[in-house]
Structure 1
């Protein structure tokens, strides 16, 4: 059996549905924790940018979860009551299933992803999570928007989103790329490379996690289609 990671995104339209989604940030925690076979999980809001962003987007909620194997992951996402509740209210939802190939760092004091010895020969996904030190918030948010602008304009990116648990302080970026080369080309140049140097030199984060994944499958749609179709076309 191999650990499977799921990232589920739900889009809500209209004030009442968005208000319901925000109320579930507290109410969904117990049913999520009681979902059979679920391991590590996090319920996240989203931002308006393509990566780390200080401005929240009340329309989109994300759930990150780990499962013991792919079939269990698919079955629980389809049938677990808490996921069905979100799906029934959402205008649109999409879940991508992943296997970690590398994971470095911690999320809330634990190492959530179990890497496998897999060779990445095609598309891959990347997740970065950071807890930002309060004393450097102004410097961090003065620099990071330029990274979001650049990644949003990169035609290689099949999907990208910024999510997080606590606005301003706990931030996650998730992106899908057609190849390791295309992702590395972005990471090693421009504002992103400058920010990475600052992270190391100035100690911006109190906790950080960097993970890469191969893509197993997906369910649902985002923007009217599966984002993975962009990879198939490429």
Structure 2
């Protein structure tokens, strides 16, 4: 496929004894991360089940880093650098993926992290990233609407992986999912009743102060999440 920004996701599972250190790294790694050559955008993320998007979803033993790079050379250099090495030493499980943006709309922290990619054909597995900053006054109605959609997501044909992601336990909500194909993702997004209903309500109720959706071509991945290779 055509060249463009390279998106990477690292997911690290840490043992219980390493959770305090992971919390510290979430703060201390921000400065060296920002200084990485070729970096366009990055977020250190907590993860969770994504079933309710509340504090009880959070998984303190799994952490992630989403980054957008100028090119593969910049991503390679970072992958062998000090920030990743520190996480790797603490981790008992790891998974990483490399992706190229196919479709992106919306903003994340007032930025367009994936640019404005031209639509193009991709016949391999795809990843989807959603992220939203909740409007405070709308949070309760949003949380009430989420469980049916999340339950349906985890039963949707073609889903390989789905995790909740966020910069904070509340108010900054997102998901990262991997699908067999664009067709499988489209079926969930547009043909499954629970998700279609929430899309309609989103426009009507104004749940989000900021939102983003991106579809990415999954170029490669390695490792495991919860003891399983999502693409295996």
The two structures share one fold, judged by TM-score above 0.5: yes
CA deviation string 1:166-196 (max 9, x = no partner)? 2220011111111222111111222211111
Residue 232 of structure 1 is matched in structure 2 by none
Greater shift after overlay, 114-123 or 193-202? 114-123
Partner Cα separation in structure 1 for residue 77 and residue 52 of structure 2: 29
Partner Cα separation in structure 2 for residue 8 and residue 51 of structure 1: 23
- Are 1:203 and 2:206 an aligned pair? yes
Q: Structure 1 pair 50/97, CA: closer, same or farther in 2 (3 Å)?
A: farther
Residue 154 of structure 2 is matched in structure 1 by 152
Residue 29 of structure 1 is matched in structure 2 by 30
Residue 124 of structure 2 is matched in structure 1 by 122
Q: Structure 1 pair 224/13, CA: closer, same or farther in 2 (3 Å)?
A: same
Residue 95 of structure 2 is matched in structure 1 by 94
Determine helix, strand or coil for the equivalent of 1:121: coil
CA deviation string 1:81-104 (max 9, x = no partner)? 011100110111111110001110
For the Cα contact (< 8 Å) 2:50–2:164, is it kept in 1? yes
Offset of 1:20 from its aligned partner? Answer: 0.9
Partner Cα separation in structure 2 for residue 141 and residue 58 of structure 1: 21
Partner Cα separation in structure 1 for residue 54 and residue 197 of structure 2: 17
Greater shift after overlay, 104-113 or 28-37? 28-37
Residue 162 of structure 1 is matched in structure 2 by 164
Partner Cα separation in structure 2 for residue 3 and residue 202 of structure 1: 34
Residue 104 of structure 1 is matched in structure 2 by 105
Gaps of 5+ in 2: none
Residue 74 of structure 2 is matched in structure 1 by 72
Aligned residues: 227
Partner Cα separation in structure 1 for residue 50 and residue 42 of structure 2: 23
- Are 1:132 and 2:173 an aligned pair? no
Offset of 1:137 from its aligned partner? Answer: 1.0
Q: Structure 1 pair 128/174, CA: closer, same or farther in 2 (3 Å)?
A: same
Among 4, 7, 28, the alignment partner of 2:6 is 4
Residue 224 of structure 2 is matched in structure 1 by 221
Partner Cα separation in structure 2 for residue 154 and residue 54 of structure 1: 25
What is the RMSD computed on CA atoms of the aligned residues?
A: 1.7
For the Cα contact (< 8 Å) 2:51–2:147, is it kept in 1? no
